[in-house]
Amino acid sequence: MIVTLTVNPSLDRTVELDRELERGEVQRVARSVEEPGGKGVNVTRALVAAGADSIAVLPGRSDDPLVVALAAVGLPVATVPIAGRLRSNIAITEPDGVTTKLNEPGPALDDDEQRALIRATVEQSTDASWLVLAGSLPPSLPDDFYVRVAREVRAAGVEARIAVDTSGAPLAALVGSGEQIDLIKPNGEELAELTDQIDADALEADPERVADLAARLAPRGIRSALVTLGARGAVHVAAGGAWFAPAPRIDARSTVGAGDSSLAGFLLAVTEGAAPDRALAQAVAHGAAAASLPGSAVPTRADADATAITAIRIRGAVAPAVQ
C-alpha cells in the first residue's frame, strides 16, 4: 500500500486550445475536461491505474465538489471534514503542449483540522510501504507543516518510507530541518531554487550537475532524489550511485500531472523490487505517457512501457555521498 497526503487538493479544469494562446483576445476552446486533482491525488490515481494499492488522504467535506468527483471515479480516499471549500484550478494547454496554470490558494485549515489531517495520515500509513507528502500548502499552514507530519509519523512508529514532492518554502523548510526523508522529487527548476542556482535551464541540460547538487543534500537528511527534467528525462541519485534516463520523443498534449505520474511510476517499480536504474526508466516512461495524454489524465501500465528506455550511470564520486 502507498499512501498519499494532499493537503491542498483541487478540482482541475483543463482547457485545450486549437492554436497558440493570445492574451486579450477571444478564443474558442477545442476541448475542456474537469477532473479531481492535486499532486498526491494524481499519484494515487496513477498508481491505481497501474493496478497498485493506494489511498489518498485529503481534507474535504463529503459534499465538496472535489470529494464528490473522487467518489464518482471510485478512487480510494480518506477525507477529513473541514469548514472551507476546496479550491479549483484552471490549466490552459496549447497545441505544442505549453501549459499555463491558474491555481487558487486553497482553504484555511484551523489547528483542529490540521491535527485531524495528521492523525488520519498516521492511521492510514500504519501498514504502508510508502507515504507520499505532495503538493503546495494552503496559506493558513506554516512552511514546516510537512516537517511536522514526518516527525509525527515517525513518533507513532510508522515504518513506511517517506517521499516528498513539494516546492518553494515548504521544500526548503523540509531540507533545512534535517528530518530524514527517503526521497524528494523536485523538477529542475525546483532543484535550482533549492540549491541557489541562477540558471535553471542550464541546470536541466546538465544531468551530471543535477546529480551533483542532489547528492549534496544527503548530509541534510535527504537519502535519495528523483529529479524530473521535463522533455529531457530524469535523474535519480541514491546511496548506490546516480543515473540519468532520457525521455522518449512524444507528441505532448498536456504536462499537467506528468511529474506526479513520474513519481507514481518510480514508486510502483521500487515496490515491485526493480533496481534503481529500472525504477528511473519507469518514472520517465510514466511521465512521458502522461504528457502525451489530454488534461490531467494518468497512464495505465500498458501506456507506460519502459522497456525501450535506458538509464545511464553517471560516473563520478558524488553519488555515493547520498546516505
**Tell me: the pLDDT tens digits for 43-57?**
999 999 999 999 999
Helix H or strand E encompassing 236: strand 233-238
Per-residue exposure over 133-157, b if at least 16 CB sit within 10 Å of its own CB, e if not: bbbbbbebbebbbbbbbbeebeeee
Spatial distance between the Cα atoms of 33 and 91, rounded to a whole number of angstroms: 10
Strand 225-228 relative to strand 54-59, pairing: unpaired
The tens digit of pLDDT for each residue in 40-98 reads 999 999 999 999 999 999 999 999 999 999 999 999 999 999 999 999 989 898 998 88
The reported pLDDT for the residue numbered 250 is: 86
Spatial distance between the Cα atoms of 268 and 303, rounded to a whole number of angstroms: 14
Number of residues that make up the chain: 323
CATH no., domain 2-321: 3.40.1190.20
The tens digit of pLDDT for each residue in 290-313 reads 998 887 789 999 999 999 999 999
How big, in percent rounded to 5, are the helix, strand and coil portions of the chain? Answer: 35, 25, 40
Spatial distance between the Cα atoms of 30 and 212, rounded to a whole number of angstroms: 43
Backbone angles phi, psi at 168, to 5 degrees: 60, -140
Instruction: Compute the CA torsion angle 146, 151, 153, 154 (nearest 10 deg).
Output: 140
Of 316, 241, 253, 222, the C-alpha closest to 280 is 241
The reported pLDDT for the residue numbered 322 is: 39
Helix H or strand E encompassing 45: helix 39-49
With a cut of 50, say whether residue 321 has pLDDT above it: no
